[in-house]
Amino acid sequence: MKIAVLPGDGIGTEIVAEAVKVLNALDLSFEMETALVGGAAYDAHGHPLPDATLALAKAADAVLFGAVGDWKYDRLERQFRPEQAILGLRKHLGLFANFRPAICYEQLTHASSLKPELVAGLDILIIRELTGDIYFGQPRGRRTAVDGHFPGAEEAFDTMRYSRPEIERIAHVAFQAARRRNGKVTSVDKANVLETFQFWKDVVTEVHAQYPDVKLDHMYVDNAAMQLVKAPKAFDVVVTGNMFGDILSDEAAMLTGSIGMLPSASLDAHNKGLYEPSHGSAPDIAGQGVANPLATILSAAMMLRYSLQQPEAADRIERAVQAVLSAGLRTGDIWSEGTRKVGTREMGDAVVAAI
């Protein structure tokens, strides 16, 4: 089992170190190799996703990713900015299926912005298509407008697009995930305005014919943004495109109040995947040893389950995290009166001890 370890920038190195420690505590044998990515790679090699890093990621069975980005790279040309690394990895590894669970841990219900009764026990799964849509559609750029409201004016443009097989494969992923959960899929679109998402809705509906045991709803993206606030527990699996999924998965994550706890997986067609926390590189607290490593540790658990076929090891990690929370250990982001504040390393050590 070969794992490419890409810590990245900001708190990335600190949180990934803890996840690696936890993996090493499992008595399984992994081959782990580390490489630079994001701003760190740009500083060392002039590119956020150097060829060697991409080659390592391609050769591995799974990628454990930290986070990328820092204010200091904001003025670079787009192609050199840290987030291009993550877009490049998704594209070159074909990671089309992004799993973003939004789970509200019993011990942390109070941390949510929402009233406890609305989020207690929340467990929804956002499945975001990750290699299509307006993220990668060509053509895009700047030009002189030839029509529209101001012909002759300078304009910028992008292309949204989805092909039938792209929609089919993510729909299958969603229906299969729903079968392992509560049997309900909400497909989010904007079919009332966009050609792309009328097609999305049509194709998802067609694929659904193969899953008569799963219930399918369609919802407009604006309504979905509302219903997530109003009654998040009404959802089970949500499937949507890359752009809407970017927005809704972050909204859903924040509903739980503890984004420092939420893992994510991005899978290709053969269960190879990239695993990363749902939060960012938090440059403001980098290097201080205070970041929450649990989202990354739980991402490692997802990696064991989805890519490395080690479900028991995944369970052990998840149980250990629960035990540590129940024992009252908290990093600063999830701390509250009556619990014990610990640093990144202490939290990682506690999970190792609980394993």
Ligand X SMILES: CC(C)[C@H](C(=O)O)[C@@H](O)C(=O)O
Given the complex with a copy of itself, which of 155 and 346 has the nearer CB atom?
Answer: 155
Q: Which of 32, 118, 219, 327 touches a copy of itself (CB under 8 A)? A: 118
When binding is defined by CB under 6 A, the residue of 43, 123, 155, 246 that contacts ligand X is: 246
Judge whether 292 is annotated as a binding position: yes
Classify 8 as helix, strand or coil: strand
Q: State in angstroms the smallest separation of the CB of 29 from a copy of itself.
A: 35
Measuring CA to CA, which residue among 281, 248, 269, 237 is closest to residue 127? 237
Question: Quick check: is 217 catalytic?
Answer: no
Q: Name the one range near ligand X by CB under 6 A: 80-88, 109-117, 140-148, 151-159.
A: 80-88
d(CA 172, CA 161): 19
Which has the closest alpha carbon to 341: 288, 302, 298? Answer: 288
Give yes or no for residue 219 binding ligand X (CB under 6 A): no
- Count of C-beta atoms within a 10 Å radius of residue 197: 26
**140 contributes a contact to a copy of itself by CB under 8 A:** yes
Note the Cα 192 to chain centre separation in Å.
Answer: 28
115 binds a copy of itself (CB under 8 A): yes
Number of residues that bind ligand X (CB under 6 A): 7
What are the tokens at 223? 């309504």
Kindly state whether residue 222 participates in binding ligand X, applying the rule CB under 6 A.
yes
With CB under 5 to 8 Å by kind, the binding choice for 288 among ligand X, a copy of itself, none is: none
Those residues whose C-beta lies under 8 Å from the C-beta of residue 351, and which sit 6 or more positions away, are 18, 22, 293, 294, 297, 317, 320, 321, 324
Q: Pick between residue 9 and residue 18 the one whose CB is nearest to ligand X.
A: 9
Task: Find the angle CA(130)-CA(256)-CA(328) to the nearest 5 degrees.
Answer: 125
The bridge status of strand 141-144 relative to strand 2-8 is unpaired
Residue 147 binds a copy of itself (CB under 8 A): yes
List the catalytic residues. 135, 190, 222, 246, 250
**Which residues contact a copy of itself (rule: CB under 8 A)?**
78, 81, 83, 87, 94, 113-115, 118, 131-132, 134-138, 140-142, 145, 147-150, 153-166, 190, 192-200, 221-223, 225-230, 243-244, 246-251, 253-255, 259
